[in-house]
Every structure is written in C-alpha cells, then in structure tokens.
Amino acid sequence: MAPTPRFGSVPEVREGLRTVDYLADEGIAGVVYLADRLGKPVLIEGPAGTGKTELGKSVASMTGSRLIRLQCYEGLDESKALYEWNYKKQLLRIQAQRVAEEDGAAANWHDIEEDIFSEEFLLTRPLLEAIRADEPVVLLVDEVDRVEVETEALLLEVLSDYQVSIPELGTVSAHQIPLVFLTSNNTRELSEALKRRCLYLHIDYPDLEREKEIVLARVPGISEHLADQIVRIVRSLRTLELKKHPSISETLDWARTLLLLGLEGIDADQAKATLHILLKYQSDIAKATKELTVAEPA
Amino acid sequence: MIDLLAGFIQQLRAAGLPVSLTENLDAMEAVRHIPLEDREAFKYALAATLVKSNAHWKAFETVFEVYFSLRGSDLSHGSEEGDGQGDMDELLERLSSEVAAVHGGAMEALTPEQLAEMLYRALQHADEAILRALARQAVTRFAGMEPGRPVGGTYYLYRTLRNLDLDAVLERLMAGARDQADGLTPLEERLVRDEYEARIDGLRKEVEAEIRRRLVMDRGVEAMAKTLRKPLPEEIEFMHASKDELAALRRTIYPLTRRLAVRLARKRRHGRKGPLDFRNTMRHSLSYGGVPAEPKFRYPRPAKPEIIVIADISGSVAAFARFTLQLVYAISSQFSKVRSFVFIDGIDEVTPFFEGIEDITEAIHRVNTEAGSAGAGR
C-alpha cells in the first residue's frame, strides 16, 4: 500500500509546480505533498476560476504523468464514469453464433456467456481507465458537485480502495495509486462519505503579491508596473458586491488584452472600455463602472 | 503527541465542527509526514484532514491559534515565545532608532501623539514589523486588560481600536497620498484607498491576535477556547443576523436557487420519459441487423403552470418576502408565466420590474423604491 513517494518534501512540490508556471502557496503545496504520502484523493473547493482544475493539470505535467479527466455533469452515470458493456458488439457476437449454428456447429451457452462478458467487450471509462493504467496517472474529477448525490456513491469505492467491482468479471484493483483531484464549485454540499475520504483544500483568490507573481509568470512580456496596476484594480473590484467576482483566469485574460493593446498604464477610461473581459454580467459592469469613476465621498 | 492531538480534536468538536474518527486517524497519519518544526505546514496538514468545509475554516483557525499558542515550546515547533523574544529585541532596537529619528525616546515613554505619528508612518510604508510592535504597544496601553476580569475579547478590541481611531488615520493617509501626487484621479484614489484599507485591516488582525494571546496567558487554553467560539454560519438565526451575516446568507442562498432550478429542469427532462416511439426504434434497429437494440422514446411535453406570487413586503416580513421572490424567479423557467404582486395595505402589480433584469436584488430594490408608495395603498 506504500508506493514510492513522488515528492521528497513540501518545498520540492512548490518548486516543481513553479517550473510548470503554477504558483502554489504553502497550503496548496502542503496538501499535494500529503495526498501523495497518504495516498488519498484531494477535494479542491473554491470560487470559479481560481486554478482548481489547473492544479490537477499542473501536477500531472510536473510529475510527467498522464492526465485522465472525468468531467462531471447532471445525469452522469455508471456507464459514463466507470465502465460499460459494449452490448452492440455482444449482440453481434450472439448473432454470429446463430449463423454458426445453422452451419452445424454445436451451441454451448456457457461458452458464449463466458465470451461476451470478457474484457474484449468491456468499454473502459475514465475511472476504470485510471485504475487499470500501468504508468503513473493523475485522475482529475472535475466539478464533482454537478452530479447528483446518488451518483456520488459511484466514486466512493474508487476513492477509498482504488478498485472497481464488476459483477461479471470480479474486482479490478489498481496497479499503482493514482493521484486523484476532485474539484467542486460548491454549488451544493457534498456528502459526508465523500468528504471523509478526501483531503480538503480550499483555494481562494490569492493575495496581492501572489496574484501579481501569477500575472508576471503567465503573461510573458508584461511590465511590472502594469501588472501591479492590474491586480490592484482587480482587488478593488473584488471588494464590491458583485454577482461574479473576477477570477484569476479573467485577470490573466485582461492582462493579455491590455498587453495586446500596447498599454503601459491604465486610466479609468481604458479600464471601463475593457471591463467586459473581467466581468460577465451587464449589471456587474454597470456597478463597477460607477464605482471606479465616481470618487467616494472623502 | 497523540494526547495533544486528541485534546485539539476535542476542542474542535466542542466548537461545533464535525470531526469523525477516520478524520482523526488521518490527521495523526498526516502529521507523521510533516516536519513538526514548521508551524504553517503543521496547521495546513491538520486543516486538510480535519476541516471539510470552508465555512468552518475560521473556527478551526481560532481554535488552532488558541490551542497551540502556548504549547509551542513543548511541541518543539514554532517555539513562538523564544523566537518572538529574539524578534522583539531586534525590533525594539530598530524601533528605538526609528523613534530616535522622530522624537528621541523609548517606546514606553511615547506620548499618544507620537504613537499615532509612528502608526501613520508605519502604515504609509507598510512596515509589518513595526506594525506588529505597535499593535502590542497599543494593546498594552489602551485595552486596559486586567487579569481575571470576565469580559470577552471583543470588548478589549473595541477599546483599543477606538483609541487608535483608524478612520481618522485612513483619512490622513489619503490626504497624504493626495498631496504627494498633486491630486489623484478617482481611479487612483480608489486604488490607494484600498491599499491603505488592506494595511489597516492587517493591523486590526494583529491587535486581535495580540489580545487573544494575552487572554490565553491569563485564563488558560481550555477556558479561552470556549469563550472565543463563534457561531458557525449554519447556526445563525435569521431574525438576529447582522449585516455581514446576512450577506453571507445571501451568498449561500444564491447557489441554492440555481441548484433547485437545475434539479427541476432535470426532473422534467429525465424523470418521465415519453412513450415508446415504435417507428423510430424500428428504423434504428436496421443498423443492428433487425435487432431493436436501442429503444427510442418520444419527447415528453409537460404542462407548465402559471404562477402568481403575492408577497407581503411590510417591514416585519420583508426579509422573507425577498427570499421568496428570489426563489420564484430563479425557477421561473419552470412556469409558463409569473406574475407578482406586493402589498402592504394596498396591492400592486410589480411584474414589469422583474422583466429583463438579471440582478434580482436590483429588481427588488426598484420594487421597494418605485412601487413602494403605490403598494402602500395610495
């Protein structure tokens, strides 16, 4: 149960993530390190666009593992997440048998049954694929809060024992323990059973310095002065009560836009003109425009 | 070590956090992999294994700070007392040189005006070390803490902050910034203000931590953990909620309405399948050699009801009416038509206020200001 650990220490994780342009803080690196050591999945929560999915991807590229991704949605079921019998192929197999019988071959029901429930007719879906992989993999279960409570139970066996039970075939256990990341936008409370099996990590908007570093790392060629102004305006916007606060990814988009426009600094007019990149609701934009241009009563 | 962790988990449970046995075991396992001298790593290891909801993070942090504040030395990690002392000496030296530069005098001997001046400078240059020392000094001076006095930390916090008068400091900082730049554009002004507010907020937290530290020294860890407990968000009472708490509630409710809408829509789509479409099934069976492998169904066509909302928006129940309206409009796709009326003593239709507006709070605001007079039965 104790495979060779992937990481030696917390700072090593942090440095590794930095090389793939993901700037982790102490907490994030610590949890990734623990996930590896304890062989437990990580449940990542936080506002949209703060780099939850990106963390999974970055860890994959940092460790050189294959990334297997399961995008969750309402109505996701066993046959899309775990495995499915290729029943069209099974039907064809039975039909072929019937043709063979007409030619005089003996029909043995037991053989056929053995045959059509073999690996040949099994379609692997992401979870089973991650379990069966021989090479190191990172399994990313994205937006797990979108599936219904009942479907969540599908994940439990995989997450706690790293195995999948297929009634007709038996139990498939993992050859190696994959690193598992589950992300959630917190649109609903996840079940206790799921939470108990995971390490919990909450990623919030980064503080000013870290966000500036992120902008500098992710947007090549941006000047320090511009990056500083950008993150300060974004922080200012986050203090307003908006429907949707600007996320890190939107900050990055904005920074790229301003860079493309060839701006060295931002004044109120330019900020207003490009605000739609940061904010995605008309009411939010109206509010922000008002707040940014009208000075507060001093 | 086991005893220590067990005690900590006891405190967490007392604070209302649900910590299960598995999580307890995980935490023990986790701290084995973490260098114990790293206090931050230790904290995050515990948090990752014990806290499973962001709403509980604050409570966890408080309990952690209190519980591990004085035991630092016997855990050999972050022996805060020792380090703190070293830092302090160095700091005091820097401080006294700073003070000497300003007025010439030791920290204790400063007049309140000089203290305020130092605070102003420290905030202006974001000098964290000096701010921390100033927070300590401020607590010593203004909080008026007496050992054994049965008052909560908030009282001391209030006293200290009132004496520091941070609002005035903020105004002064703003004025200073304006002078320096010869007038600021509104945008710049806002950014500068945000920056200073963040710094002042940092100072406030520092003061709070300092007060907590002293209270722990005075009363002991267990007693403090009890008094510092803050109610978890799920335990807030609707009628007595403060403004901040209401904002937190609204944030919780918003995804709830969306969730309901999604769920209902899904029920409509999948809950009741239409009758079997025989023609379509047969047509598809051709591709499997005549075997109807893939049954096809007709799409269901559910009837959508019309709904009329009548909301009482008089003062006592306004908060509830608001919630109901928000809910109804969130699931309005489930109804063929929504009409809403509000009344206090006369009734008035407010449907048009909700048309073409995506921000429901703004619509409600308009109802209150524009339709309010009509609703009052004139």
Q: Per-residue pLDDT tens for A240-256?
A: 777 788 888 889 999 99
Distance (Å, rounded) from C-alpha B41 to C-alpha B31?
Answer: 9
Instruction: Let me know how many helices (H) and strands (E) chain B has, helices first.
Output: 18, 3
Residues of B in contact with A232 (CB under 8 A): 191, 194-195
Domain identity same for A196 and A135: yes
Residue A1 in any domain: the answer is no
Q: B270 to chain A nearest CA, in Å? A: 9
Domain identity same for A50 and A162: yes
Of the residues A147, A176, A202, which one is the last residue of a structural domain? A202
The residue-averaged pLDDT of B295-317 equals 74
pLDDT over threshold 90, residue A140:
yes
Average pLDDT of chain B to the nearest whole number? 70
A38–B29 C-beta distance less than 8 A: yes
Q: What is the DSSP letter of B109?
A: G
How many C-beta atoms lie closer than 10 Å to residue A79's C-beta?
11
Residue A4 in any domain: the answer is no
Q: Which domain holds residue B282?
A: 275-301
Q: Which domain holds residue A242?
A: 208-291
Residue A231 in any domain: the answer is yes
Domain identity same for B288 and B321: no
Position B97 confidence tier, pLDDT thresholds 50, 70, 90: low
Residue A5 in any domain: the answer is no
Distance (Å, rounded) from C-alpha B103 to C-alpha B14?
Answer: 50
Q: Does B23 touch chain A (CB under 8 A)?
A: yes
CA dihedral A211, A217, A218, A220 (to 10 degrees): 130
Of the residues B75, B90, B117, which one is the last residue of a structural domain? B75
> By three-state DSSP, how is residue B83 classified?
helix
Residue B310 in any domain: the answer is yes
Q: Find the CATH number of the domain harbouring A153.
A: 3.40.50.300
Residue B242 in any domain: the answer is no
Domain identity same for A115 and A139: no
Contact B97, B88 (CB under 8 A): no
Predicted pLDDT at A103: 78
What is the SS3 string spanning A81-127? Answer: HCEEECHHHHHHHHHHHHHHHHCCCCCCHHHHHHHHCCHHHEEECHH
Domain identity same for B154 and B223: yes
Residue A296 in any domain: the answer is no
Residue B178 in any domain: the answer is yes
Residue whose pair of structure tokens reads 């510092």 in the numeric block? B228
Nearest CA in chain A to B285: A88
Position B330 confidence tier, pLDDT thresholds 50, 70, 90: low
The residue-averaged pLDDT of A90-118 equals 79
Report angle CA A273, B189, B172 to the nearest 5 degrees. Answer: 170
Domain identity same for B161 and B110: yes
Total number of domains constituting chain B? 4
Residue A298 in any domain: the answer is no
Query: Between B236 and A211, where is the model more confident?
Result: A211
Domain identity same for B135 and B221: yes
Residue B285 in any domain: the answer is yes
Domain identity same for B104 and B210: yes
Domain identity same for B28 and B98: no
Which residues numbered 68-127 in B keep a CB inside 8 Å of some CB on A?
Answer: none
Contact B325, B364 (CB under 8 A): yes
Distances in Å between the Cα of A280 and the Cα atoms of A274, B221, B353 are: 12, 48, 22
Of the residues A145, A177, A202, which one is the last residue of a structural domain? A202
Please name which of A185, A147, A122 lies closest in space to residue A70, comparing C-alpha atoms. A147
The residue-averaged pLDDT of B41-67 equals 82
User: How high is the ipTM of this complex?
Assistant: 0.78
Domain identity same for A40 and A101: no
Tell me the backbone φ, ψ of residue B82, rounded to 5 degrees.
-60, -55
Residue B243 in any domain: the answer is no
Predicted confidence (pLDDT) per residue in A105-114, tens digit: 666 777 777 7
Between A91, A202, A233, which is nearest B191 by CB? A233
A202–B54 C-beta distance less than 8 A: yes
Residue A245 in any domain: the answer is yes
For helices A26-38 and B39-50, what crossing angle results, to 10°? 60
Domain identity same for B92 and B165: yes
Domain identity same for B154 and B286: no
Between A26, A95, A196, which is nearest B41 by CB? A26
Residue whose pair of structure tokens reads 């426009």 in the numeric block? A261
Domain identity same for B95 and B195: yes
Predicted pLDDT at A182: 93
Q: Which amino acid is at A6?
A: R
What is the total residue count of chain A?
298
The residue-averaged pLDDT of A3-10 equals 76
Predicted confidence (pLDDT) per residue in B176-186, tens digit: 777 776 666 77
Q: B144 to chain A nearest CA, in Å? A: 32
Residue B238 in any domain: the answer is no
> By three-state DSSP, how is residue B306 classified?
strand
A27–B47 C-beta distance less than 8 A: yes
Domain identity same for A136 and A52: yes
DSSP B90-105: HHHHHHHHHHHHHT--
A267–B198 C-beta distance less than 8 A: no
For B301, residues 6+ apart whose C-beta sits below 8 A from its C-beta are: B274
Predicted pLDDT at B95: 55
Domain identity same for B120 and B17: no
pLDDT over threshold 80, residue A18:
yes
Domain identity same for B202 and B346: no
Domain identity same for B104 and B186: yes
Domain identity same for A64 and A155: yes
In terms of Cβ atoms closer than 10 Å to its own Cβ (0-12, 13-18, 19+), residue A98 is exposed
Residues of B in contact with A296 (CB under 8 A): 189-190, 193
Chain CA centroid to CA B23, Å: 24
Predicted confidence (pLDDT) per residue in B168-177, tens digit: 777 777 777 7
Distance (Å, rounded) from C-alpha B250 to C-alpha A109?
Answer: 62
Residue B348 in any domain: the answer is yes
B33–A37 C-beta distance less than 8 A: yes
Domain identity same for A163 and A257: no
Domain identity same for A149 and A190: yes
pLDDT over threshold 70, residue A152:
yes
Domain identity same for A21 and A135: yes
Residue whose pair of structure tokens reads 């009628």 in the numeric block? B239
Domain identity same for A143 and A256: no
Distances in Å between the Cα of A205 and the Cα atoms of A184, A230, B373 are: 15, 14, 42
Q: What is the DSSP letter of B166?
A: H
Total number of domains constituting chain A? 3
